[in-house]
Amino acid sequence: MFTPSLLDLLVEKLSDVETAWSIGTFGAIAEFMRDADEAVALERRAVSISAVTARGGLRIEVPETLRLLASESLTAQSWNQRVALCLPEDVCVMNRRVVLTEIGPDGDALRRSDRPAILFDLGLGALQLDACVRTADPATVAALSHWTGRSLFESGNGAMGVILAANPHRVFVSRVGRIEVYQPIPPPNGKSPEGPHTHVLPGLLRHKRTHAATELVPAGCIPCGHFYPPHPARNALGQPHPFQADRHAAFQALLDRYGDSQVVNIKRRLIESVAAGEPPASFKMPGDRFARSTIRVALRQLHAVDGRSPTLATWLSAFDRYERDEPNDRAGDHPLHGMT
């Protein structure tokens, strides 16, 4: 349910240059982030916020049914954290086009100068996402119009070649907002640019999932976007850095307020047991996969705070052996690489 305090929280996170954002689905996602010294236009309206830089832009809408859901999950040797912007399943549905479709001028573009440009839906058929490109170039409009009515992925379709050559804006839209990417698409097998970018992976789209299996989302609730507060142990590129307790505390406060109550209680009970010096055998391991993941995340966080505890070493040995075959949840949140 919409409240002014929820909008205040989102404004606070948008003002934080170290918080990243995404809009998308499993297999197609747009990300927005900015540098500390990068010029940005921030705007707050009655039920929306936006940020625009020279490389891209973000608008977040705050509908009445918006629900925040904070969660953590395992990576190979660390953990991830995110806050999902969720809507009820019957509210989140977008156009679900399955062929390249010319929509027309983009009247909702973040920059007024982009509103006459022509929007094309790529036709990914996703439940909660319309993935589009936008161009004001008449030749590119004509070239893309030639391929409308056909699947982007069918044999012989030249639309992707047109897109890669023309570098149109990428515009990913959900019921909670949009991300626009203005910077060029890298060449095939090239590195994704820093800053705003998009990814499309047809192999993952075929699964028809709305989110990664490693992310805890209640039934009937669909994540239509996310924000990612700065991680206490890794930078924005995923590289480790010294543990920052203030970042950890800030996300734990979000988890207490917006996390799944059962998972939060299990985590609290685990931390209390370790602090009390109880043996691992005294703790009954839950059967739920998300609860088990939470226990391992909690132990890794305790190790990051103070890895010298003999008691903690015993718990880690019992419950978390840092298995190398764990799914990389960041890759799950961002099934990235493809069209960028």
Q: Are 192 and 184 in contact (CB under 8 A)?
A: no
| Alpha carbon distance 292, 287 (integer Å) | 7
Q: Select from 164, 184, 205, 176 the least CA-distant residue to 85.
A: 176
Q: Which residues of the chain have pLDDT under 70?
A: 1-4, 322-340
- DSSP 8-state class, residue 243: -
* Helical residues (DSSP H) of the chain, grouped into ranges: 4-15, 89-92, 138-146, 159-166, 202-205, 245-258, 261-275, 289-305, 310-319, 329-333
**Model pTM?**
0.92
**Beta strand ranges found along 89-216 (DSSP E):** 101-105, 118-121, 130-135, 169-174, 177-181, 197-200
| Alpha carbon distance 212, 298 (integer Å) | 21
Encoded amino acid at 58, one letter: L
pLDDT at 77: 84
pLDDT at 8: 95
Indicate the SS3 state at residue 84: strand
Residues whose CB is less than 8 angstroms from the CB of residue 302 and which lie 6 or more positions away in sequence, other chains included: 271, 274, 309, 312
Question: pLDDT tens-digit profile of 117-169?
Answer: 999 999 999 999 999 999 999 999 999 999 999 999 999 999 999 999 999 99
Tokens 């936006």 belong to residue? 50
